[in-house]
Chain A
Amino acid sequence: MSEPVVFNRRDFLRLVGVGVAGAAAGCAPPADKLIPYLVAPNDIMPGVAYWYASTCTECPAGCGVLVKAREGRAIKVEGNPKHPVNLGGLCARGQAGLQGLYDPDRIRTPLRKEGGAWKAITWDEALQLASSKVNAAATGRRGITLMTGHVTGSLQRLAREWAEGGSASHMAYEPFAHESLREANRRTFGRAEIPDYDFARARCVVSFGADFLETWLSPVGYARGFAAMRARRDGAGTFVAVEPRLSLTGTNADEWVAIRPGTEAILALGMAQVILAEGLAQGADRGALADAVSSFTPDVVAQQTEVPAETVQRLARLFASQRPSLAVAGGIAAQSEQSVALCAAVNLLNHAAGNVGETVRFERGVNFDGVASFADLQKLIADMTRGAVEVLVVHGANPAYAAPAWAGFPAAMDKVPFKISLSGVMDETTQRCDLVLPATHALETIGDAEPGRGVHAIQQPAMQRVPTFDARPAGETLIAIARGAGFGDRFPETWAAYVKARWQPMHQRFGAGRDFDTYWGATLEAGGQFEPGQAAAVRWSGTPAFAVPELKGAGDLALVLYPSTSLFDGRGANKAWLQELPDPTSKVVWGSWVEIHPETAAKLKIAQGDAVKVETEAGSVELPAYLYGGLRKDVIAIPLGQGHSAYGRYAEGRGVNPAALLSPAQDGASGAVAYLSARAKVARATQAADLVMTQREKGQFGREIAQIIPIAAILGGTANGHGAAEAGGHHEVPPSQTKLGKHTTPLEPKPGARTPAHAITAYEPIHKARGPRNNPIDKGSYARAEHRWAMAIDLDSCTGCSACVVACSAENNVPSVGPELVKRGREMMWIRLDRYEESLEPGRVDVRHMPMMCQHCGDAPCETVCPVYATYHNPEGLNAQVYNRCVGTRYCSNNCPYKVRAFNFFDYAAPEKATFAFPEPLNWQLNPDVTVRNKGVMEKCTMCIQRILEAKGIAKDEERPLRDGEFQTACAQSCPTQAIVFGDLADDQSAVHKASHGERRYWVFNELNTKPGVTYLKRVRRDAGAVQEPTHG
């Protein structure tokens, strides 16, 4: 076995040895003392993991994270359970933040553009140049603009102060700035901000296009709340999705209302009308509201939205009766020319149903204060075009890619004489700059954030700056420029000092008598200072006018552009994990696709994977077709986020950027870009494109793999599930072996004989069944074993978000192999999200998402066939895979009914090979507790054996038994909805034991008698409309 790449001792010394010795010797800038989470301040000890609380910066939601550092380098990001925003979960993009930190294409030194080519220069030269330019512009008042991304906390403040000092202007650009939502709230509630949406409290949710489980505002937190709502057994928990394209969020709905694109507002008003007309409304100003919406009778609505009047009434009654309910507007629906109208309409609906102050609270919603609207960007573009901007400083924003082509940002930017970028990567905007002062990545930078009002979060570096990249914190650079330009005296020397200074007032308020350093330390440890939110009372202030947006263009297909679940607005595109993460809808990787309804496609003679040309009056793109039944027949959809012309090896030249299809269109009231504004034509194209899919068949072909159970069966059921059986939802398929006569009927265990831990399964008959596994052993590891590691996966909570997939890859050093190999079915992921589309018909939609990983079978088919015992059953019930024993017959994979084993077809671990998957410094992320597999060996889910061993070690040291839930597998930990429960099946009190014995449990392919260690809980089918009344409890 050749030596796989691991982070060797030299690198470690480079990071730590030097730090320690150097600090002692007094040379090299002493790093800020890092305060490990739950560990006393300490010099870093090799082999021991330290956790640092920080804040995720991959999207504006600002989830709290814990960063795991080993040997002085960050190797894993997990959600912070104590953080109010995400309560422990973390999405795929958050997990992938690490690959941003170690991105091999990060800029390594300050760069200056000379004659179109980049030239490396020193920091002193760079800062010198920058400050002189800024100084000149500032003194001459010739216009400086500081453009940042969505920034909060100290950086936002610094940006403001910097702008003031330099008589510059600051704008925070965010592609999805939710201007319309904020504007609508201003008009209807008098507060231009984003409220809290309390999904957990809602008894019923209606979403008007908001993909709140994917990218909308704060998806992780919302998903957690949504799961809580779904878990209720009191008849509540219905979710209706109103959208022309069935999004991932929509697949979790009980009913899909395939509405005419752009007319969502009308439906909302129609529902409000019914509620008011039928006197189901709450609140004083009912009369006024009733007048406002009186014209939107069900028939009018039906005629405009193509939603049957009956449905409108049913939804309205459901919405009003299941109080508090919750309606949200967002996503593509809230990005039309009438998006403010939609948001206002939904506000009205919530208001009428009395949800405001209940599930919609102006408390600590996602913080978008100070984020510029698209109109502001246009103003900047205008200024730049007419030469009113002398110096442009960009940090953390990429408008050259993200802003729609028609806005003409690149052209305008080129008119600016001097452009400085503080970006860490060479993205489209940075490419256009004249000077690059590379900024450090959030995971190696001190800072803070305020993702929600009263949520004062710390952004703590988990490691020293990655030596490969000579970068500096953006704040530090800004301060340096300011000082050089002569207006920096107001700022302290360093960025760290600036951040601390901002926390002085916090110390005043929350210090509780402790001195600042103690308080600061405690805050770093906790990840921030979290105030309880105070709900602000709001009153209905005026109903705006409502209208339906007109779609432009000659085509007969409405064009829907939506942010990609994994790449968001494109900022995830430079991360291999996210590129290779199968899209939850199409299961496509490494590229773009256009979704077309099968019938529409048939008309156009387009087959799955055909190259097609999508044309609008603004332009055209060529990309492969994906036939998707979850669309209206008059709609096509394309995800945003691909089609980068720069931004690193993983992003460049993959797919297309459909924003090019947009012609000028924006919301009149808020100025937001109208992504839903064009009609398109679709035709076959010549140039063949690859549609690289990890799952081709999305049907079950009558095999009960992902099962459902009607809610009635549960509510009417008793503990043993008989009621369920009567309700026709619940029946356990017994393994064939238990049906085959006397030799295979379950045997009673001998008196006194206990089933060895490794033979325990949740399936009782099997528990006692015969077979070598069940003969108790009196000596050795197998006799001693006390645990049977197992999982329970709740298909009702699983939203298909795929966070677990990336979490697993990060924890277990799973390589990304690239499109060519994925096309040949060689993806390496240990856990996959299977998607089964039982019914995509508008109305009751039935899509089942199913995480599928090694089932750790009690009688595993893979084990018996391995000729060298490379895979075997371990004393604690794990199906073990010993990489260095594997000779690569691949028989185990052939014999695995679940097909969860991945084979190393090439050498992904050898730096000298072309197939190397961890180009320096990506290999720094590798988990030192997990072997990096070589060419020719099989690998698969180990239930994070390294975590099991670590936890057992800690328990041994403390001379106590393992506690249930004291550690989790990577997938279970990251799951935003906690759909995956991991634990010890041998412990009757453990969560997994309870879950595995519930009435919804079943096993995939149980009839094969593999005795899986993974128990699935059936997805619950609810009936939207007909309200379930609990029959008991």
Chain B
Amino acid sequence: MADITYEPASSPEDVGASEHVPATVTQKSLNADILRMLERPGKIWWGVFLLDLLILAVALVAERNQIVMGIGVAGHTRPVMWASYVTNFVFWVGIAHCGTLVSAILFLFRSHFRRAVYRVSEAMTVFGVMTAGLFPIIHLGRPWFAYWLFPYPNQRQLWPNFRSPLEWDVFAVTTYLTVSSIFFFVGIIPDAAVQRDFAKNRLHRLLGAIFSFGWRGSNIQWKHFYGAYLFFAAFATPLVLSVHSVVSWDFAMAQNPGWHSTIFAPYFVAGAIFSGVALVINLLIIIRKGYRLEHIVTLDHMEKLAKLVLLTSTIVGYSYLCEFFCAWYGPSVYERDLFWWRFFGHFWWAGWIMFTCNVIIPLVLWFKSVRRNMAALFVIMLFVNVGMWFERFVIIVGSLAHLFMPSNWGVNYKMSWTEAAILAGSFAWFGMYFLLFIRLLPAFSIAEIKETLAPPMRKKPS
């Protein structure tokens, strides 16, 4: 066959939409760009990875100590029986939300800017749930009996209590982990095939082979692929809303002031997407810079994500105000005292960190210049995630410390080093998987980005 050289479409404009990659990207260069990420890691990656493992090791030591000594090594106290562990749980479940949103919901909405970012966010989702899932076990007084929460046939002839929101969590989280992983594995099939065919070293080719499930790229496969993908997208979409609603009911189903509120489900879902997208932005900024992929994950992509953050930020802010209004307007003296106390009581600083980071700082995203300034965006998103962690902290500790019984109001919760180590460890745990992921599998959807490339044209014979 005569050699065929492909030339790119003359300019982006004639293809149009801004979420497309620049015309300089060709099918070949795209493969190369993405697969380049898999090449022998540099010092920086190794440095980060080893540091990560170190932190994880410390966390494991802390956890062992906690199991041997008892949960008392954490800062819990009566009345604050839940604290940083449950905070971390909700935080990570929240993080895990954005992935499915971006990949499933935006897919159904046909908003194409997702193509460049969805693989990263899906990976983040899977790893996020894997992290979140640890905390309900870590925070138990007797973690070695955690399996009692599963309804399995046992000789004691006992069932778990299906009325308990914690029991609902068991199902919500496991379901979410299953579905989001499947979604992740389905989406990666064609790209894994590319890796299988073009990757340089054997390991990568092997992994490609495994995850591509014998993909040949035949028409029939493409047909089924898109059918399945659509199906899973539709299947996963309700989960995005359900999971965090269920998590929010851990609190809403209790009768404590500050918890017992019907607004919690939407409020938590919005907050989850808020923090999730923020973390995606952070990760993307690092990757596109680190691997010089600015031309694939373009400023337009980033800006669209930033807009999503701005939107959810306003929803979250609205929920805060709503809660306060209800507390002020409603009949419950307990509720009124509590919400006042949250911002002017012992944990006032937590309350204000939450409000500033989640409502005030994101306001600057109204400016296009900020949305397109990666450095600024990075910092803002860090603030958002700090803020979202503290939101959960305020909801949990900030309520428990100031409930019905004044004689029992307790301000003596202090985060212990064990808790701090395990919090850091959760990031390390998440980071470990993510660092390996970008080294072992295509972190961007080659197949879907190619859809935006100009169709390869044969040169007119001169």
Measured CB to CB, the residues of A under 8 A from B are 695-703, 705, 821, 823-827, 832, 834-836, 852, 861, 864-869, 885-891, 893-895, 897-899, 901-907, 915, 934-938, 1005, 1008
Contacts and interface: CB of A to CB of B under 8 A. Distances in A.
B141 A890 contact: yes
Contact of A865 (B166, B337, B409): B166
Interface in B391-442: 400, 403-412
B78 A699 contact: no
A697 B406 contact: yes
B167 interface: yes
Interface string B332-367: 011001000000000000000000000000000000
Given A869-B160, A885-B148, A894-B79, 5 more contacts: A697-B407, A826-B78, A864-B163, A865-B164, A904-B70
Interface stretch (B8-16, B207-215, B253-261, B371-379): B253-261
B407 A888 contact: no
Given A696-B409, A868-B161, A890 B253 contact: no
B317 interface: no
A835 B161 CA distance: 37
A131 B358 CA distance: 84
A939 to B, nearest CB: 11
Among B76, B82, B141, B407, chain A packs the most CB atoms within 10 A around the CB of: B407
A1005 B404 contact: yes
B141 A904 contact: yes
Contacts of B75: 824
A825 B406 contact: no
24 contacts: A698-B407, A701-B337, A703-B334, A821-B72, A825-B77, A825-B80, A825-B412, A861-B255, A864-B161, A865-B254, A867-B149, A867-B167, A868-B158, A868-B160, A885-B158, A887-B141, A887-B145, A889-B139, A894-B79, A894-B400, A898-B404, A904-B70, A936-B141, A1005-B404
Interface in B138-183: 139-143, 145-146, 148-149, 158-161, 163-167, 170
Contacts of B337: 701
A888 B166 contact: no
A702 B406 CA distance: 10
A1032 B441 CA distance: 90
A904 B159 CA distance: 24
Given A887-B140, A894-B400, A936-B71, A861 B407 contact: no
Contact of A888 (B140, B254, B412): B140
Contact of A836 (B71, B145, B407): B407
Contact of B82 (A864, A894, A899): A894
B17 interface: no
Nearest to A890: B81
Contacts of A1008: 255, 404
Contact of A935 (B76, B142, B254, B400): B142
A252 B407 CA distance: 19
A938 B166 CA distance: 16
Nearest to A1009: B255
B255 A936 contact: no
A898 to B, nearest CB: 6
A866 B404 CA distance: 20
B136 to A, nearest CB: 8
Contact of B405 (A705, A824, A869, A904): A705
Nearest to B257: A897
Given A823-B412, A865-B164, A936-B140, A890 B405 contact: no
A702 B69 CA distance: 41
B81 A699 contact: no
A873 to B, nearest CB: 12
Nearest to A587: B407
A894 B254 contact: yes
Contacts of A827: 78
A926 B458 CA distance: 92
Nearest to B148: A868
Contacts of A895: 254-256
A886 B164 contact: no
A935 B140 CA distance: 11
B258 to A, nearest CB: 11
A849 to B, nearest CB: 11
A703 B406 contact: yes
Given A826-B72, A894-B81, A905-B76, A867 B166 contact: yes
Nearest to B416: A824
A937 B142 CA distance: 7
Contact of A898 (B158, B160, B164, B405): B405
Contacts of A937: 141-142
A852 B163 CA distance: 28
B141 A886 contact: yes
Nearest to B137: A887
A897 B164 contact: no
Contacts of A698: 407
A382 to B, nearest CB: 51
Contact of A893 (B70, B78, B164): B78
Contacts of A889: 139-141, 166
A329 to B, nearest CB: 34
Contacts of B72: 821, 826, 905-906, 915
Nearest to B82: A894
B78 A899 contact: yes
Most buried by B among A697, A699, A934: A697
Contact of B406 (A700, A864, A901): A700
A697 B435 CA distance: 50
A49 B404 CA distance: 41
The 4 closest A-B pairs by CB, nearest first: A888-B141, A936-B141, A905-B72, A825-B77
B78 A866 contact: no
B149 A903 contact: no
Contacts of A867: 149, 160-161, 164, 166-167, 170
A699 B70 contact: no
A825 B140 CA distance: 18
Contacts of A905: 70-72, 76
A865 B334 CA distance: 21
Contact of B409 (A697, A826, A835): A697
B77 A826 contact: yes
Contacts of A869: 158-161
A1000 B31 CA distance: 82
Interface in B36-93: 69-72, 75-82
Q: Which of B145, B253, B400, B405 has the most CB of A within 10 A?
A: B405
Nearest to A697: B406
Interface in B202-226: none
B410 A834 contact: no
Contacts of A868: 148-149, 158, 160-161
Contacts of B412: 823-825
Nearest to B75: A824
Given A825-B410, A890-B76, A899-B79, A865 B141 contact: no
Given A894-B254, A904-B70, A824 B166 contact: no
A647 B370 CA distance: 71
Given A867-B160, A887-B148, A936-B71, A893 B409 contact: no
A861 B81 contact: no
B92 to A, nearest CB: 18
Contact of B253 (A702, A865, A866, A934): A865
Contacts of B148: 868, 885, 887
Contacts of A885: 148, 158
A907 B160 contact: no
B142 A903 contact: no
Contact of B70 (A836, A891, A894, A936): A936
B142 A886 contact: yes
B84 to A, nearest CB: 13
Given A861-B254, A894-B400, A898-B405, A903 B161 contact: no
A866 B205 CA distance: 49
A493 B92 CA distance: 79
A532 B170 CA distance: 70
B142 A887 contact: yes
